[in-house]
């Protein structure tokens, strides 16, 4: 669990740094570029589509983990738009809350307790 948490921290720090430089150099105009690359039907667009599917999967999983309750739906939406920047913080916090119990981390405490 320590290595997993270190990985999450490394991802968070790296992505925050990279994103900061990108915003400083190119601004906040991600959406037209992201979907424009998909419309071109080339490899950058394929990568964006694949990544978007992973973001949607992360959002659905976070919402499911919270039983699709309002707070869970909100967290799922944040997962979709926050990507790994959100997921690294979310998983780090949840790994601490569940005291490293992988079943509770993946399923949520209620489902893990019912097993």
1-55 pLDDT tens trace: 999 999 999 999 999 999 999 999 999 999 999 999 999 999 999 999 999 999 9
Query: Which pTM was predicted?
Result: 0.90
Q: Are the CB atoms for 16 and 88 separated by under 8 Å?
A: no
- Going by pLDDT thresholds of 50, 70 and 90, the confidence category of residue 115 is confident
3-class secondary-structure state, position 42: coil
46-87 pLDDT tens trace: 999 999 999 999 999 999 999 999 999 999 999 999 999 999
Block residue for tokens 């979907």: 35
Residue 29 per-residue DSSP state:
-
């Amino acid at each position: 669990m320590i290595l997993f948490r270190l990985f999450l921290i490394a991802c968070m720090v790296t992505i925050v740094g990279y994103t900061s430089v990108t915003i400083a150099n190119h601004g906040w105009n991600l959406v037209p570029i992201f979907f424009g690359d998909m419309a071109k039907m080339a490899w950058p667009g394929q990568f964006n589509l694949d990544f978007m599917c992973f973001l949607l999967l992360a959002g659905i999983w976070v919402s499911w983990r919270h039983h699709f309750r309002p707070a869970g739906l909100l967290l799922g939406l944040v997962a979709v738009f926050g990507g790994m920047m959100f997921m690294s913080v979310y998983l780090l916090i949840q790994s601490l809350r569940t005291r490293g119990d992988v079943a509770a981390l993946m399923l949520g405490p209620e489902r893990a307790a019912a097993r």
